[in-house]
Chains A and B, each alone.
Chain A
Amino acid sequence: MAKLEKQSASPPPGQIKHDDHSIGTLDSSSYDTKGTATTADDEMYFGDGDKPTYYNISVDDKTHIELGLKIHYRQGDDITPTSVDADGTAHYIVPAGTQVGGAHNVPSDNPNRAAWNFDFSVNTGLDGSTKTLDNFDFRIIVTSGDGEKGVFDMNHLAPGNTP
């Protein structure tokens, strides 16, 4: 992990040269299609009913990695971006306060949770690549406007196990 600490959390534009950015549905190898042609039953492997749609997607065509971030009402509907910058940064407006049920398909109140949440997806097997999560390292950085920062390095617990 020491090597990661040397990397910039915000590399200057152009440093990552192979990325293509889009808003939409993840590659079909990133989620469970249930083996059916319909998209109605598609869902992420990490949760029933979590759709692969409306992700902010970055694909590196050199390493064949797909990264995805989704913003949504906690336990509810997806939140779509209001704008997207040329470098792929997507801008969202999220609700203040805690989780409130009754709208946006949010099932119930939860005074101990924020009204919004995010999901992430990592796929190292695009374009037939046989590399796995073990071949790379991943980090999530959350920074508030006040400057507080949470840095979350994902651990490789065992071969094939990078939760």
Chain B
Amino acid sequence: MKAIFGTDALDHGETYDIVLQAFDHGKIVAQVHDALFVN
């Protein structure tokens, strides 16, 4: 985590958006999105 998201990666107050996408011949056809608050 820290290698990509910095030394504050696990700290209170950090936020993350996680998105999973599906593509059909390069066109996005589905997506699901989670928004996280680290507390």
Q: Which of A's residues lie within 8 Å of B, judged by CB? A: 3-4, 6-11, 15-16, 18-19, 21, 56-60, 62-63, 65, 67-69, 71, 81, 87-98, 114-116, 118, 120, 122, 135-146, 148, 150
Contacts and interface: CB of A to CB of B under 8 A. Distances in A.
B5 A144 contact: yes
A94 B39 contact: yes
A23 to B, nearest CB: 11
Nearest to A98: B10
Q: Which of A68, A140, A143 has the most CB of B within 10 A?
A: A143
Nearest to B30: A60
Interface in B1-39: 1, 4-6, 8-39
Given A96-B11, A122-B22, A148-B5, A67 B16 contact: no
B19 A140 contact: yes
Q: Which of A63, A88, A141, A145 has the most CB of B within 10 A?
A: A145
Given A90-B34, A94-B37, A95-B39, A7 B28 contact: yes
Interface of B: 1, 4-6, 8-39
Nearest to A145: B15
Nearest to B27: A7
Contacts of B1: 114
B35 A60 contact: no
A71 B16 CA distance: 12
Contacts of B34: 56, 69, 71, 81, 89-92, 118
A10 B33 CA distance: 9
Contacts of B27: 7
Nearest to A120: B20
